[in-house]
């Protein structure tokens, strides 16, 4: 028989650097999850991404055990990394803060494809291009 699910929690933590401090501790503590065990497992699974903001979807069961899935980093984080910028534009329609090329868009879309609600790479690229535009990034060929 399958375990009964108590809660599903979504968190974003720096890969390989999660700590029991907020937001991890309070989010998991209220459901009785062993926070130290989660932090250790999360850091072990994400050590190759080191420092990149990484989402995790945690399923907590009635017996206080848990499982979690690591998602791909947010598109905005990957775009900032590719463009070499710290943050997006405050006025994306007027002020461009950087640029990315189609190849970088393709690589990000391929990396995010499993987490996006599309079935092909071209549609994923359009989603990533839209995110780039709203961040104030110019797309070049």
Do 82 and 44 belong together in one domain?
Answer: no
Q: Could you read off the pLDDT of 93-139 as tens digits, one per residue?
A: 888 888 999 999 999 999 989 888 888 999 999 999 999 999 989 88
* Domain span at 39: 5-70
**Residue linked to tokens 């780039």:** 132
What is the band of 1 on the pLDDT scale with cuts at 50, 70, 90?
low
* Sign, CA torsion 42/45/46/47: positive
**Which structure tokens are listed for 112?**
């995010």
| Together in a domain, 55 and 80 | no
13 lies in the same domain as 50? yes
State whether 54 and 87 are in the same domain: no
Q: What is the CATH number of the domain that holds 114?
A: 1.10.10.250
Q: Are residues 26 and 43 in the same domain?
A: yes
Cα gap 17→71, rounded to integer Å = 16
Number of structural domains (the chain) is: 2
Q: Show which of 70, 96, 113 is a domain's final residue.
A: 70
SS (H, E, C) 59-77: EEECCCCEEEEECCCCHHH
State whether 107 and 53 are in the same domain: no
Q: What's the whole-model pTM score?
A: 0.77
Is there a single domain that holds both residue 57 and residue 93? no
Sheet (strand 53-61) strand order: 5-14, 53-61, 66-70
SS3 at position 120? coil
């Amino acid at each position: 028989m399958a375990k009964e699910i108590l809660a599903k929690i979504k968190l974003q933590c720096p890969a390989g650097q999660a700590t029991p401090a907020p937001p991890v501790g309070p989010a998991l503590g209220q459901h009785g999850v062993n926070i130290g065990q989660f932090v250790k497992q999360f850091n072990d699974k994400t050590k190759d991404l080191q420092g990149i903001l990484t989402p995790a979807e945690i399923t907590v069961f009635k017996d206080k055990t848990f499982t979690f899935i690591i998602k791909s980093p947010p598109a905005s984080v990957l775009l900032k990394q590719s463009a070499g910028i710290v943050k997006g534009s405050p006025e994306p329609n007027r002020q461009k803060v950087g640029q990315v090329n189609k190849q970088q868009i393709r690589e990000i879309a391929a990396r995010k494809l499993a987490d996006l609600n599309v079935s092909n790479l071209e549609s994923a690229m359009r989603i990533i291009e839209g995110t780039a535009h709203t961040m104030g990034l110019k797309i070049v060929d």
